[in-house]
Structure 1
């Protein structure tokens, strides 16, 4: 059966594929409404802004244009369409469209547009003639090419001027409907042009993630259109792998508004590609789970396709593919990398043997990864830059060199266009930089034209040097006399400069340490300054520490204090208000790049005490200090529209809150009023709480199910009300007393599961609302006035203000809370309001200092509801991480280490429940076998083995091992062939697991002991080191049925806590109390090197895969790093890493060496990226604005000119 494929893969949907374009109906309707409003009066360019991969091109091509052709706007079916991209010649591209429409000469049109910005509007007006209903639709997709492909800034500005005139304004009738599709990370690039700035400030359409229901539509409806069936379970599997979640009925908010599906918007191309590949693997007319899994799934399908394409080439073809792809990528400077459209002639002529280039392009075009047009070639979608690890490695291998190469190729092309004008050749230091790079670059990477351009520059340099040589010889004799004196002066000057630089470095680093407790973002910037001045171990480890510290992005300061902040529209918009009578709205869809959207009109009020969004994001409510509750329609957050305010009662408004379903608004003054706001334009009173309340209500909080309302007053009392029927509220239980120094209950918050209620006064208390008992001891700080508290949506983190700072606590299943890391510093006035974003990754804070800050509170930390974690392990491909407590393994997808995705317990496949465990879990390094220690019916703790497939448990292997013994730990050899286990009486047993379903053994390696043994296998799996009874003994376990002791290592005063071999097997590390010992295994008689660690002691140790770094787990919550200098020899590397608040139980490196994971008693895993530059980029993305010229002068000094580290 020949079934048409309804999924375009990486390519955008076009107008001809509109029948398969589903899931964006609401967004298309929104865009049409905005265009209609512009046509009726406001005019101007309509911007459609989205992250790469969110689907803006498909929205424009398959959503907007077909709807216009179907008369979605009056008369729009008659409107001609000009759809194009700017390319490297935007004026030429527009001229081609205009000439095709009007019949004018293209060259003359381009010349006319170049000198007269009104020419385009005039041509379209002439085309329309007297037809008032005629408009021309101008859609400029991939508008960011104006900044990546076009090198002529003047041409780019002229192009924008022409579009602005075509789009018209409120005072001028639009000649056309102008829509631009812009990638979100180029937003700032547009702000420099008034015409574009107006478009971005005037109601831009932001394209984000689809809702759960919309993603289902995008998967299911195209298949139905072509007669494809979808196997049950496949849609749910696709949603899970995409990052969506939820069961039937989820994804729709109040009023039918769709809630986001929880995936990153840029992952849509991965879904589209996986669907197309699944279609190729279909069984008849059915898309199957098996076919989908054969593609590698959403995460790996793209990489699988690309790898298969390149692996099918010979060695020469693979080398040419690398060179071709690098030419098709533009390295971003201040923005993400982008694809680059290249002329086919340029690509064919760039390398010798054009036939090889053509064959490579054909292979990747057939795989739908490259798009070859009549005369150009380009990567189909920028998702390939993120989703193909091999391409990412090519780009990242020499990023700085890629920028040099990029400039070289562009300058060479300009030289060719100028008939090889010598004035364009490289000179001086620029020539030397490029020559140095080219000398080490693969010759196949550099085009013929670039090599000739560089050679011409070298020849010109040599000619100039020869002319200088004669003059220099004549002056040499005179120079010798002066040189002797000058050398002494230079030497003295150099020593003085070195002393000055060292003093500056020490001062900057000291200031960074001092500011860490008051302004962590500025402290981070100063650390980066010091690292740039003198890269070393101290600054390296501080950079790693800072990446694991919550840092903040500062929103623009205001003249008045901020009393309240609130997230709305599923975390895409933030509202902030204070005493100036305005509520300001910010776009925080990318919390690293917030921008102002709009503000409410000034109100006759002394400001707002509290603001809140309705759950569907359409309505904003503000409790004014003048006693009035004001409502706004904020469906267009750039233009909040006032609704009718609630009737004013008095001037004592203190709080308000929407119920989770959005039907009820609670307002607190001297009492609590409940309002029906299902129609926010016509709110209706429901009830007033009848119980006596003290002078004022200070705080309100709804439970997550909306059935309870907690009310805090200024008499230290908290009351809970049942809202089963909001028109007839009933009191629940007895009042809760928050007695303390203060009498007011400043803030209330329910946990995400509704089982806890937190209150803030002079301290913070957590309650069990059912009976009013405290869930933990009060949390105090340095301040005696706590303004606000908040629970993270995942229920793992709790935040509370403390004067000018904010504290975070880990509440994952603990009665006694542990503070997470450092306090959050940066505000210079009291912090008055807090709010978590819906995804829990960002915390917003508002302060008396007039600023709003956005904090990245996850900062490399993985937390799960569990007991203390005792072991952590990476999958062989470094993409999955498992952490083990005494009951269950917990698993995360860490393909993107900065955005880990929890997978829960080791998922079972397909439907079995996870095994019952009580004690210990281990996984073999290849992730083929899982070992668990669990209780048997006879009371013993036996070992059970389970087969793994990736992170999935597929079956139990055989009966329990040694059921008459009780075990406390289990260990696998690196090749998974052997397993060692320690019993409760400290015996050590050994099994052979060549066939894990039928293990051989056990063999008793060591009998009972008073010490707890610490085993470690050598990398080759043939030697086992065992620390027990005050000695380390090496065993030959080549034949596990007959192990033999070979030798004992010297100088072990006590039993080692942990052992680890280096990857080459030449060094054995062991921890003893607060010391770490290193033995040279090849010379066992030599005493080990002894290095100090933390005073509280060291536990686990681990070597990096390259053997150059040793990590140790500190009992004081730190992780220590040592540089390995040779067999049995190492030195401390910088400062300890701080991320845990309790004992660190386990450390391990990822197999690719890029990550270090540490697990602790604080129920968290810290995931450390080890590349300094990657960490610096992450720090810069948050704190770049902290290093102002004034801060530079104050903390760095005036000896060095202003040069912030993140430019």
Structure 2
């Protein structure tokens, strides 16, 4: 099993060698075919196995690769097996030439050599996203393919704990990407059916055995008691098998967009669980409850905000909590009410909108984009000002507490202060790479910035660097002050959050996430910290670092 499979044109080999080396330095096992071998059955089978056994399929987009028949065959094989696809752009291409499976995804742009470090960081984050689930996808795919190639021989099926783990993975896959394949579903279903047959056969053997024992038992009562016990064991196994099968069926129905049917099947399993509590194994009961909860939440989902044409990058509530602003890869910002109704669409940016923020009075919205501009808008969707001055894309934007100043962070390694007229007040220079997060202190006198150089920095309003917070081992993606302004929280791609005082002393390290921490925030009373991570969880911590 490899972490990454790179599909590319041999004409772009120099770039891919650079990419391969960077991945190697990050400890990522990468499958690359370096040789322009003639198409043969053995060679193509090796390519197929490489794709099937990888967690992430990276396609290097260029005019050469989109015209390559081999590259297209590789994409088709990856799509066939529902592999996670990540398109990266080495050289500009015409959208209509790109494989449809790649065209609907977000692209990472490596065209600008100066942005390689930043975009490589985005690539690694995408590769590592939900990694345990993706590894499960790869592992089960390889097993299912082997079973299928061996004419679906029963000896290749899952049993015991392996089967339970696979079923739990399949339930989780209903809301995950990449989705389970039909072959994986058939493999797990066949494994469960074989397990039920084995359990039933075992129960029959036990009954025959006990019947034979009964013929020679000295105490008929004792033999009868043992027989009853064995029959109860067989019945208990049967009930657990039926509940597992019903849960799996319900989730499969949900995945097929048959919500009502899934709900009916889930309720049947729930009712059976309720009436047979004493006979059900804890793992089986949890599987039934988990499936039913997932189905209920899906069927009754309300107020989904649908309208953007691409990924939503940033979300912000207005101070009164009545309006939501969303920034998207479709280059627009949308305003919504709490009913999920679209109020306005803010059009004007020419590239991805990476950050949105409301002013403290809720009357103005600031947006930062990869087009290197910041725009100010009113609630009617009218563009008020465009702030220009950064030399690269905008990653973050925030208002001061009094609403008179805006701070922005950029890929050009700087943060900038602006007034509402769009005048640049100060430039904060000191970070080695992009500034990913910015925040004002509650009194508005201090600014904290977090950067891809693994540090956070404190600044005054004159742009003077006050302190550098060192301790993280990877990019700092989120920074925030406590409500009293005495503590700073930072979240990092090293899977930890840290608390610091204003002197730059590290107070606590919050460990527990298994993915990048991209958001960190204090509760209004300052006693609780919330961290959001790529491991699909939010954790709450006290000031002692316990969750």
Q: Which has the higher contact order (CA 8 A, sep 6+)?
A: 1
Largest Rg, 1 or 2: 1
TM-score range, shorter chain: 0.3 to 0.5
By percentage of residues, which structure has more helix? Answer: 2
Superposition TM-score, scaled by structure 2 size: 0.46
